[in-house]
Amino acid sequence: MSPHIRTCCFLIAFVLLGCLDASAQTTRDGVIAIARGDYDEAARILQPLAEEAPQPDPIAQFFMAMLYGSGQGVAMDPIQACPLFLRAARSPNPFTNQALTLAHALQNASPTLAPLCVAMSTDEYRSLPSTSIALERNHSVVVSPGGVTVTYNGTRKHTTILAGGVGWTFLPVRHLELAACRPPGAARHFIEFFMWSPDETADQPAWKLGWIVFEVVGAELLAVTSEPNLLTSPSPPRPAALDVDRIAQVRCAENGEAEWAVLTAPVRSAVIPAVVPQ
């Protein structure tokens, strides 16, 4: 897709200028940004319209999928592109057939991707919430449903994270900066995901709270710990009613080391070794 994306968009941008109404002005702006080769701006405009809006625009979904498929403006991510193509094909629009063709091509290229693509395209499927986090100068993190992209001094690296499912509820993404731990004077950045998921092993409807922690070191996203079952509930509590700091934490231990700690039974913790950025 990437060799043709800009040429294709130059041609169809003019078509869209006539077929998009005023309510889709920002989608048009995103397509024009692609046509002029400003893919970063296009992704900034199209991503919320395609992935976060209460009623996503199928044309924004199509072009956002093109960006994911080509790695323009965002990290290349076929796992993100495929379900967006399927979503774009749900309602009649100028790109319904093309969206289906491209989705099927991605599914055929990876049989293991095919069922995940279909599952992620459903309205009931929930995955990582889209979030942008500025860590320090020239250092940022973008969380999207398909994973995490770290940008560090001009280097961009994407890590695919397949966390999500039907009936899942994600709490807001947490960024924790620890400046008091060893090594002294070096701030350490951690990204935490808390999520409720249906407990398929329970006889009665129940949900379990999971916790995934990563540390951002330079352009790398390093896995720290994954706890799939911190506690259970007959129904997922409202996020505002849950004080996760009383359940699990990343913190400085008494000896000055950074550590993760689960505060519910069985209580457990482990040191998080410091890694020097490359």
Query: What pLDDT score does 12 carry?
Result: 52
Q: What is the CA radius of gyration of the chain?
A: 21
Q: Residue 37's pLDDT is what? A: 93
Identity of the amino acid at 227 = E
Q: Residue 114 to residues 75, 76, 107, 119, 208: CA-CA distances in angstroms?
A: 20, 17, 4, 9, 27
User: Which amino acid makes up residue 120?
Assistant: M
Question: CB–CB of 76/45 below 8 Å?
Answer: no
pTM to 2 decimal places: 0.79
pLDDT of 7 above 50: no
Residue 255: what pLDDT? 84
Which of 4-18, 78-92, 170-184, 234-248 is predicted most confidently? Answer: 78-92
Q: 């397509």: which residue's tokens? A: 31
Centre a 10 Å sphere on the Cβ of residue 167 and count the other Cβ atoms it contains. Answer: 14
Q: What is the pLDDT of residues 60-103, one digit of tens each?
A: 999 999 999 999 998 888 888 999 999 999 989 999 999 999 99
When pLDDT is averaged across residues 165-179 and rounded to a whole number, the result is: 91
The 10s digit of each residue's pLDDT in 114-165 is 888 998 998 889 889 889 999 989 999 999 888 899 999 989 898 988 889 9
Tell me how many degrees the CA angle 106-100-157 measures, rounded to the nearest 5: 40
Alpha carbons 212 and 197: distance in angstroms, whole number:
13
| pLDDT of amino acid 240 | 67
- Which tokens is 157 given? 């690296």
Q: What are phi and psi of 18, to 5 degrees?
A: -95, -30
Report d(CA 237, CA 207) in Å as an integer. Answer: 9
pLDDT of residue 25: 54
Mean pLDDT of 3-29: 52
Mean pLDDT of the chain: 86
Is residue 211 a contact partner of residue 193, using CB atoms and an 8 Å limit?
Answer: yes
pLDDT at 85: 96
Work out the average pLDDT over 5-17: 46
Rounded to whole angstroms, the Cα distance separating 199 from 194 reads 15
pLDDT at 6 over 50: no
Q: How high is the pLDDT of residue 173?
A: 95
Percent of the chain whose pLDDT exceeds 90: 53
What is the secondary structure of 182-224 as a DSSP string?
Answer: SSTT--EEEEEEEEEEE-TT-SS--EEEEEEEEEEETTEEEEE
pLDDT computed for residue 245 by the predictor: 92
- Please tell me the distance from the alpha carbon of residue 171 to that of residue 15, in angstroms, as a whole number: 40
pLDDT at residue 30 greater than cutoff 80: yes
Alpha helices in the chain (DSSP H): 2-19, 25-35, 39-47, 58-70, 78-88, 96-109, 113-120
**35: Cα within 13 Å, side-chain hemisphere:** 15
Distances from the Cα of 141 to the Cα of 31, 94, 151, 189, angstroms: 24, 34, 6, 10
Distance CA 48, CA 64 (A): 10
